[in-house]
Amino acid sequence: MKKRGILNVPISKTIAELGHTDKLVICDAGLPIPQDANRIDLALKAGTPNFINVLKPILDEMVVEKAILAEEIKQVSPELFEEIKEALGDIAIEFSTHEEFKKLSQQSKGIVRTGEITSYANIILVSGVDF
């Protein structure tokens, strides 16, 4: 058994398998996920687990070069946007339209679905290197 960190096997395994520029998505309960995607579904009920409670431990374990958010989050869900910026710290943020975000998410190595029901609570984490 692991002493600390993420205990969820599919999440831990997916992070360990990421290479430079690979993508990991953390999404709300409504983001469309392709049938053949590496779906890691944590959603239990509306709001559980919430987006930030999933994002923070993943950021603790993953080397993140940059993050991609939907441009719409700034206007529609500004409080969540502020929480995300705080969690990311110095990690660069890029923006796309929500439609482009959905296309980009299909190129990810894994999609972690939360129970979040806040609009545009989705992020693509682009893997960096630790050297």
Q: Is residue 3 assigned to a domain?
A: no
CA-to-CA dists, residue 98 to 48, 61, 73, 74, 117, angstroms:
23, 26, 9, 12, 16
Per the annotation, does 28 bind a ligand? Answer: yes
What CATH number is given to the structural domain containing 94? 3.40.1650.10
Q: Is residue 68 assigned to a domain?
A: yes
Q: State how many domains the chain has.
A: 1
Per the annotation, does 120 bind a ligand? Answer: yes
Q: Is 114 a catalytic residue?
A: no
Per the annotation, does 38 bind a ligand? Answer: no
- Residues contacting 56, CB < 8 A, separation 6+: 87
Euclidean distance between CA atoms 41 and 64, whole angstroms? 21
pLDDT digits (tens, 9 = 90+) for 8-62: 999 999 999 999 999 999 999 999 999 999 999 999 999 999 999 999 999 999 9
Rg for the chain (alpha carbons), in Å? 14
Give the DSSP letter of residue 110. E
Structural domain of 113: 16-127
Q: Is residue 54 assigned to a domain?
A: yes
Question: pTM above 0.95?
Answer: yes
Q: Which of 13, 20, 74, 103 is catalytic?
A: 20
